């Protein structure tokens, strides 16, 4: 069950790298491949119903998801999705919506662009309020990131929001409980593994699509080749990586501001493509 995780559909650097920016031409070829193979595109919420056993699994299912909410999602990706009659799920960071970003920062969707996506069948979900590593936050901060972002989206869209995607893929049992308590009915992780009918509805496995993925690699992915099946629970290395990040956060917060080193914008493992917090 391939659940594809995209970020930017552009030739622009995002977060200082081109790794997560798929060129518009490549994206068009990939969507044409999905349509040409007769795949059935699902939103995450519809797939969550399959995982719960209350909806049937259609033939050749595929999920297309987007994280972060860059403007090219509405400007570039949406016309391609419409051309090939494909649906998708977009996860957005609510504090950035419609806000003029500081010089040098990545741009973000505005509310009009978000409404256009939804009007054309793209499911809108939350990617938290400020895109922090949720498994390192205190309970009050976690609740704000998870519950407040849902309220902001529902108020802005005047529609229910039922799916969540963990920033960087980082989650823990406590984070999953907070997502459920906030009223979501599904959540996407990363894992870089193939989902299946026994996957966890609050930690759906995705595979991140990179700039150099290409149609040949995508075809293998759609065939279920080259990637492991998703596992339940957490790997030991995931817990170790979380513990390291939690300690680093405490040490950083304890240092006087003038002596703090500049922290990287993205708190992630050295090889994000290998594992983004299962």
Give the pLDDT confidence of 177-217 residue by residue, as tens digits.
Answer: 999 999 999 999 999 999 999 999 999 999 999 999 999 99
Q: Report which of 50, 34, 37 is spatially closest to residue 196, judged by C-alpha positions.
A: 50
Rounded Cα distance between 187 and 132, Å, is 16
Predicted pLDDT at 257: 57
pTM of the model: 0.90
Predicted pLDDT at 271: 37
Q: State how far the alpha carbon of 67 is from the alpha carbons of 39, 126, 128, 129, 225, in Å.
A: 22, 9, 11, 13, 24
**Of 268 and 4, more confident:** 4
Beta bridge pairs of residue 42: 63
Predicted pLDDT at 256: 66
Beta bridge pairs of residue 5: 65, 208
Backbone angles phi, psi at 166, to 5 degrees: -70, 130
Give the mean pLDDT of the chain: 90
Q: Among 9-23, 126-140, 239-253, whose mean pLDDT is lowest?
A: 239-253
Degrees, nearest 5: CA angle 67-213-192 = 55
Q: Report which of 6, 180, 176 is spatially closest to residue 91, judged by C-alpha positions.
A: 6
Rounded Cα distance between 15 and 169, Å, is 16
Task: Name, in order, each residue with C-beta under 8 angstroms of 224's C-beta and a sequence gap of 6 or more.
Answer: 1, 2, 194
Q: Which two tokens stand for residue 166?
A: 């963990």
- In this structure, the chain runs to a length of 278
Q: Among 6-20, 190-204, 261-275, whose mean pLDDT is lowest?
A: 261-275
Q: Among 69-73, 150-154, 238-242, 266-270, whose mean pLDDT is lowest?
A: 266-270
Could you tell me what percentage of the chain is helix, strand and coil, using 3-state DSSP and rounding each to the nearest 5?
A: 40, 15, 45
Q: Report which of 167, 19, 16 is spatially closest to residue 104, judged by C-alpha positions.
A: 16
pLDDT tens digits, one per residue of 83-126: 999 999 999 999 999 998 888 899 999 999 999 999 999 999 99
> Is residue 145 helix, strand or coil?
helix
What's the whole-number mean pLDDT along residues 212-233?
93
């Amino acid at each position: 069950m391939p659940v594809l995780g995209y970020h930017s559909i552009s030739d622009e650097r995002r977060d200082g790298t081109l790794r997560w920016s798929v060129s518009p031409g490549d994206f068009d070829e990939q969507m044409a491949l999905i349509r040409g193979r007769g795949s059935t595109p699902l939103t995450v919420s519809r797939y969550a119903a399959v995982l719960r056993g209350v909806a049937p699994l259609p033939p050749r299912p595929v999920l297309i998801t987007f994280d972060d909410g860059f403007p090219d999602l509405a400007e570039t990706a949406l016309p391609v999705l419409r051309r090939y009659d494909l649906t998708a799920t977009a996860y957005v960071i609510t504090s950035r919506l419609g806000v003029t970003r500081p010089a040098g920062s990545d741009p973000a969707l505005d509310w009009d662009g978000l409404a256009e996506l939804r009007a054309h069948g793209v499911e809108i979900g939350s990617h938290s309020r400020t895109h922090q590593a949720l498994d390192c936050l205190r309970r009050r901060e976690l609740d704000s990131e998870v519950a407040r972002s849902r309220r902001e989206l529902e108020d802005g869209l005047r529609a229910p929001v039922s799916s969540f995607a963990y920033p960087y893929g980082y989650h823990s049992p406590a984070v999953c409980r907070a997502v459920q308590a906030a009223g979501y009915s599904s959540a996407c992780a990363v894992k870089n593994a193939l989902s299946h009918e026994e996957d966890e509805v609050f930690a759906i496995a995705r595979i991140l699509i990179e700039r150099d993925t290409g149609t040949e690699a995508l075809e293998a992915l759609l065939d279920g080749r080259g990637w492991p099946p998703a596992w339940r629970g957490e790997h030991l290395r995931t817990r170790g990586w979380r513990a390291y990040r939690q300690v680093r956060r405490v040490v950083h917060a304890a240092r006087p501001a003038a002596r703090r080193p500049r922290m990287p914008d993205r708190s992630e493992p050295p090889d994000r493509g290998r594992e983004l917090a299962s």
